[in-house]
Structure 1
């Protein structure tokens, strides 16, 4: 694992680009400052693609990325082996205009990161900046109101003031302008010792605040150069340079349960998230034409695996899948599967597991990808065919399932980036308390359903609840389990159980009675 911050990003960027060009595929993972909003935005089994996209989009707009992991899998020539080059990038947004970037923080998410050793000081102090296309365009088109000579003259004025200032003193510079501030900051970072002065915006005016006076040991060169605005914007593009190279390479991108990761990647590095779900799919597919979701892939590959070995793919969490496909039983079944070894920079991972560090999770994702494909290939071919098979054969096996992203607990099985999504067949059940049982019994219903997997309940009124099961098999299990219940009566949900239909029927009856009464009165009068 190689940790990448803004201190070493520029020096490592050429190396990363070269490795991406050599790679067979790149595995990714991301960590966020939050992953859920208020309860009104909760996910539901009845969410379609557009509904779920709207909820995920709200999350991606509210929160920020704090870490991205890339594990670049390079095939060794003439060897049945991959070398995994793993990088963990700390990301922290730069100022991108006259106002600071704002993002939400979910305490439970940050607590989770802290438990797994996340370095918050490194994130805030040395995180790499980034811009999406719209932000970069706006900055490049920003007017430059100050010439290079004017900025140098103002800088020399600040230095002269600092030699005699006291800690806490402030010097008014001019009305705040973003390009002036950024260019001035770049000169100060380059020529002054750290923690001497800071630029502050006070009521629209720019001030220099003295943190620590400088002495005569700080000598300025006679010729001070100012970085061009394009150079500064290039630096601010930051990690987006990596994402753009991934897009240009056309290499397969592999993630686990990767849909939310892609929303963040699109919004922070590519463009503002589109309004419609279909536009989002088209945007991501144009940028990253080949994406594999290992969670969906494991589900799909079960059909190729011998029945007795399918339990090895029965897990949904990344860590459980990684352990399962690394077990002795899986290794025996996979026969000639490619080995995966760490590069020298990632040797820290040998014998050590860094859970929920983005780089290590990306590495695990890549290993699961290689192993599940090898597992499926071994199950379907003779040993001599497997020995001759190249990785391209594994990708050929996976090709029908590319761009299918798992959407858990929803009305669709997966999001298809290049076509129609596949719908899930939901099963609806009606629940009511038995005679003599209190209405408060509904408070127990959620707990009773919790052991059945993809199931949720919605109370319709004091006497009725709707239960949604993720499949008919699950619905049948529920009917069988509740058949002898002393508390509830469960049966299939009928058309007339709908509150809307019931309300409409009541109104029809009322209108019908009124019409009949009116007709009777009319006949009587005649």
Structure 2
């Protein structure tokens, strides 16, 4: 079995046992009309701009991070505080003839972050659009198409960060022509993948009250902030194998880590509200607006060491403790993967995708799963 086939096989195997999968893509460009990219657009105009641009550019690289909760017996009790994160990275090459656009600024950005264009040209994984439904007579998908087919079969939650363009590219490259508007795209996406989360939207909703984070909402910024107070144990067999920030594999890994820490924090926040003393005024236990700091409810801060991937530029290699504290460890609020589908807090974020420089600032693809 050649190297590319083996990489696909390993990725598919991890998808089949994952509790959720985080995704990230790198593109040959973002928008055809870059001059308008900073303007605030209406909901409809923004989707039209995206739908016009996406088919013209290539998806160069796909990052996949498969997350599975560890269930270890620790002194007679099951320890559910840990998660295994297995990351895969595939360069992508369309199997059919394509004439595509390139934004030189995007290529320079990728090259400055270590993208290997020679390896892309020589070893990229071929792909083509999947059949609408798989039968015994359906030909086996090519290369990276097997990964998307496995995701469609697994029906596990998918996680992205500020991921509308990622979803549009995945649909355009692997599933079919893009629908004409937001509503039709949402319905079409959910036919294949019924549950999607966006870590930026989760952060937008709890920026100050839940996460105590007045800073930016970029992926790396959120990762740095959240890992300082999280007790989740994140383990990856090869934490530095997928390159640096802005490679698709690394960003998929960070997206998975951020998502776990976000949801654990949100569940703790909800638990603390529900445990508020009965005699406390009702307004003290009620949830304040997303951007207003609350004096009544604070995020717990007792943590243990958390194994995290080092950020680029750190001197030490391998896994490092984010911080050591003398406080006792606490059980995770995200105690079971089923909470992602069933808990009222998690359902709040089902199928809602963050939008930047638009009004409104998010897109609802469809109702919560089930």
TM-score range, shorter chain: 0.7 to 0.9
Give deviations 1:469-518, integer Å, cap 9, x for gaps: xxxxxxxxxxxxxxxxxxxxxxxxxxxxxxxxxxxxxxxxxxxxxxxxxx
Q: 1:41 to 1:342 in 2, by over 3 A?
A: same
Number of residue equivalences: 301
Give the structure 2 partner of residue 127 of structure 1: 124
Q: Which structure 2 residues correspond to residues 468-487 of structure 1 after superposition, within 5 A?
A: none
Give the structure 2 partner of residue 375 of structure 1: 265
Shift of 1:408: 0.7
- CA contact under 8 A between 2:84 and 2:236: conserved in structure 1? yes
Higher relative contact order (Cα pairs below 8 Å, separated by 6+ residues):
2
The structure 2 residue matched to 1:18, chosen from 13, 21, 24, is: 13
3-state SS in 1 of match to 2:101: coil
The structure 1 residue matched to 2:64, chosen from 54, 70, 89, is: 70
State the alpha-carbon separation in 1 of the partners of residues 45 and 38 from structure 2: 9
Q: 1:133 to 1:71 in 2, by over 3 A?
A: closer
Q: Which structure 2 residues correspond to residues 52-451 of structure 1 after superposition, within 5 A?
A: 52-78=46-72, 79=79, 80-94=81-95, 96=96, 100-133=97-130, 234=140, 237-302=142-207, 305=210, 309-311=211-213, 314-327=215-228, 330-331=229-230, 337-343=231-237, 346-348=238-240, 354-381=244-271, 386=332, 389-393=335-339, 396=343, 397-418=345-366
State the alpha-carbon separation in 2 of the partners of residues 244 and 388 from structure 1: 28
- CA contact under 8 A between 1:321 and 1:368: conserved in structure 2? yes
State the alpha-carbon separation in 2 of the partners of residues 324 and 303 from structure 1: 12
Q: 1:41 to 1:135 in 2, by over 3 A?
A: farther
Give deviations 1:187-246, integer Å, cap 9, x for gaps: xxxxxxxxxxxxxxxxxxxxxxxxxxxxxxxxxxxxxxxxxxx99x746x3212211211
State the alpha-carbon separation in 2 of the partners of residues 91 and 388 from structure 1: 34
- CA contact under 8 A between 1:134 and 1:271: conserved in structure 2? no
3-state SS in 2 of match to 1:311: coil
- CA contact under 8 A between 1:377 and 1:386: conserved in structure 2? no
Give deviations 1:420-447, integer Å, cap 9, x for gaps: 9xxxxxxxxxxxxxxxxxxxxxxxxxxx
State the alpha-carbon separation in 1 of the partners of residues 334 and 89 from structure 2: 34
Q: 1:386 to 1:361 in 2, by over 3 A?
A: closer
3-state SS in 2 of match to 1:129: strand
State the alpha-carbon separation in 1 of the partners of residues 160 and 14 from structure 2: 18
The structure 2 residue matched to 1:33, chosen from 28, 31, 39, is: 28
TM-score (norm 2): 0.74
Give the structure 2 partner of residue 188 of structure 1: none
State the alpha-carbon separation in 1 of the partners of residues 10 and 19 from structure 2: 16
Give deviations 1:363-414, integer Å, cap 9, x for gaps: 0000100111112222333688856943433552322211100111112121
Give deviations 1:13-64, integer Å, cap 9, x for gaps: 343223212111101111000112135754642322x321110012211100
Q: 1:43 to 1:61 in 2, by over 3 A?
A: farther
TM-score (norm 1): 0.53
Shift of 1:135: 11
3-state SS in 1 of match to 2:62: strand
- CA contact under 8 A between 2:15 and 2:151: conserved in structure 1? yes
- CA contact under 8 A between 2:198 and 2:353: conserved in structure 1? yes
**Bigger Rg over Cα:** 1
Which protein is richer in helix relative to its size? 1
Query: Gaps spanning 5+ residues in structure 1: where?
Result: 1-5, 138-229, 332-336, 421-526
Q: 1:245 to 1:304 in 2, by over 3 A?
A: farther
Aligned-CA RMSD value? 2.9
